[in-house]
Amino acid sequence: MYKYTKANTHSTRILLLHAHQPTYIKMQKLAVLLALLAATAIACSDAGAAVRMQLTRTDAGRGFTRRELLRRMALRSKARAARLLSRAANGGGTVSPAQLDDDDGAPDAEYLVRFAVGTPPQPVQLELDTGSDLTWTQCEPCAACFDQALPYFNTALSSTLAVPPCFSSECQALPLSSCGTQNGWGDFTCVYTYSYADNCVTTGILHRDTFTFAGAAAERSVVPGLAFGCGVFNSGSFDLNETGIAGFGRGPLSLPSQLKVANFSYCLAAINGSAASHFLLGLPANLYGSGRGTVQTTPLIQNPQAPSFYYLSLKGITVGSTKLPIPESTFALTNDGMGGTFIDSGTSMTMLPKDVYKLVHDAFVAQVKLPVQNLTAMSGHLCFSVPPMAKPTIPKLVFHFEGATLDLPQENYMFEMEEAGSSFTCLALDATDAGEDALTIIGNYQQQNMHVLYDLANNKLSFVSAQCDKV
C-alpha cells in the first residue's frame, strides 16, 4: 500500500515535469535529464526513516535564576514573534529590518538538535525551527561566520558528499537561488541565500550528504542523500553552541519532508528540570501509552502565503469559568493569509493579539485574589505577589481548538519566582507587538509535558499530557 503510493508519487513528479516544462526540455535536454535524476533521488531515498533525537534547551544548566529565565523567555518570544510575523507577512524568506532588541544577548534558539553530517560523521548542533525549511550549517572555508564551539563542517573530509545542480528540484525549492559559475562558486552549483526576518541570513551552496541521527541508548539512524545548506556567509543572533538551523517546516526541503516521514512528534520536559526532551520522526503510534489524559486532535491548516508554518484552528479561550468574549474570526487566517494561529517550537511563551491578551490579563486580574505586582524588570508581565506559605487559587486556562481542548496544567501557564525575598507568580503569556495582523503563536512553555504529534500524512495535530522525562 505504502509502496504503491510511493511509486505513484514518483511517476507523478516526472509527468508533471514533462507536462509543464516542454520548452525547457527542448532547450536543455541534458539539464532536464539531470533534474529528473535529482527528482528520482529524492523520491527513491530511504522512505519513512525512523529517527529519534534529543533536544537541548539553550538555557538549560547555565545557572540562570528563575527571574532571568523568565526574562530571557519573554525576550526571545517577542523577538521570535517579530521574526515570524514579518515572515508571514512577506510570504517567508525575505529580509525586513531587524526588530530584535537583543539587549542581554539572549540567543533566539529555544531548542537545539544534535546530529552528524558526512562520512565519517561530523557533528552539527542546530536550532530546531518548525517555522522554516532549509537545514544549514556553517562550512569551511567560512568567509563570514559567527563563532561556534564545534569545528565548521568540512566538505573535503566527507566521502559521501554530493553537490546537487542549480536545476535540481532541491535547489528549485529554495526561495532564492542561482547557478554558480566556474569563476565564482563552481559551475552549476546551487548558490542560495536564505533569510529570516530578524536579519539572520545564510548564503552558501546546497549540498547533499548522509545524516547520522543518534538517539538515547544505542539507537542510530543513518540516512543518505539529504539536502542541506553549507553556509559560508552567515549572520544573526546565535549561541556559541549552535552551528546553524534545522528546518522542520512543511516545505519540500524540510527534514520531515526529505525523510518522508508520515509524522513527527516531540515531548518537551519541564523547563525548570534537567531531563532531556525528545524528538521523534516516524515513530510507532503506541508512544501515546505514556499519556494520562485523552488524546486531543485538531486539523492542521495550510496557509499558501506562509506554507512552512503549522497553522491550527483556534476558536476561543476560557479563563476560570469565563469564556472570553472573543469573536472566532480573531484567530482565523484572513483571505489574504494574514493573522491566524500556528504552533511553533521556537517560541517560548504563547503570543496573543494585543486585544486578546488584554482580555486574558483582565480576567486573571479579576479572578486571582492576590495583589498585582508591577515588576519593571519583567517588562510589564502580569505578576501577582504570593504571601508567605500561601497556596493561591489560580483560575484554569483553556484553549479551544476545532475538535480539541487544551486544558493547561497550571505549571504550563504560571511561572513562579522569588525576587528580593518575596514570592511571585506570573502569567507566561504575552502580546504580539503587531499592528493590525492578529497573529497567535502557541509557544513551547504551554507544551511542557505534552506529547505533541504532527500527523503530516493526515494533516492533523494531536496532543496528550505525558511525563516527558519518561518517554
Catalytic residues: 129, 344
Q: How many CA atoms lie within 13 A of 251 on its CB side?
A: 28
Q: Given CA atoms 193, 195, 201, 207 in this order, what sign does their dihedral have? A: negative
C-alpha 437/C-alpha 458 separation (Å) is 29
Q: Name the region of 413 (left: φ>0; alpha: ψ -120 to 50; beta: rest).
A: alpha
Residues in contact with ligand NAG by CB under 6 A are: 48, 56, 61-62, 239-241, 261-263, 270, 272-273, 282-285, 372, 374, 411, 416, 453, 455
For the CB of residue 386, give the shortest distance to ligand NAG in the complex, in Å: 12
Ramachandran angles phi, psi of 452, nearest 5°: -110, 120
Task: Give the integer Cα–Cα distance in Å for 11 and 33.
Answer: 15
Q: Can you point out the beta strands (E) in 146-267?
A: 177-179, 190-195, 201-214, 220-235, 244-247, 263-267
Residue 276 neighbours by CB distance under 10 Å = 18
Q: Give the CA distances from residue 133 to residues 193, 416, 465, in Å, rounded to whole numbers and listed in that order.
A: 13, 35, 28
Q: How many Cα atoms are found within 13 Å in the side-chain-facing hemisphere of 455?
A: 15
Nearest to 244 by CA among 139, 366, 100, 375: 139
Cα separation, 175 vs 461, whole angstroms:
27
Identify any residues that bridge with 453 across adjacent strands, giving them in sequence order.
265, 462
Nearest-10 Cα torsion for 74, 79, 85, 90? -170
Peptide bond before 141: cis, by omega within 30 degrees of 0?
A: yes
User: For ligand NAG, which is the closer residue by CB, 173 or 456?
Assistant: 456
Residue environment code for 320-353, b if the CB has 16+ CB neighbours within 10 A, otherwise e: beeeeebeeebbbbeeebbbbbbbbbbbbbbbbb
d(C-alpha 95, C-alpha 82), whole Å: 12
| The C-alpha cell that represents 90 in the structure block | 512577506
